[in-house]
Amino acid sequence: MEFMNIRYFLIIVLVVLFIIIVARRTKESLRWVLVGEEFGEKGEQLHRDYELLADAGFEVRLERGVKTSIFFRRFSKDLADRVAIYALKEDIDRVERFLTQPKKRR
């Protein structure tokens, strides 16, 4: 009977830890908003925009490619050149205004 009590306790601890981890990751991912996503040469232009935003002092995040498992990697070859920029939700208006400015003023 004691073994079952320990087992139930460990299951409850694992469930609580899972809920805490998922809640923290969800809260963190809700802070970021997708600014742009491109492939190939347009992705390289987006990477340059990321560098401009980072130099201007914005808190931005860059993702390259798509994370896939070993089983799906052969189907995702076209996704390897993906570039995506994320900005903080509270800065998104300023980021979009900055990106729409004429390039001479940057």
| Chain centroid to CA 65 | 11
**Confidence (pLDDT) at 76:** 59
Interhelix angle 40-55/92-100, rounded to 10 degrees, is 110
* Region at 65 (left for phi over 0; alpha for psi -120 to 50; beta for the rest): left
pLDDT profile of the chain (106 residues), mean per 10: 85 96 90 87 87 91 74 62 87 89 64
Task: Determine which helix (DSSP H) or strand (DSSP E) holds 38, and give its type and residue range.
Answer: strand 32-39
Rounded Cα distance, 87 and 65, in Å: 18
**Confidence (pLDDT) at 9:** 94
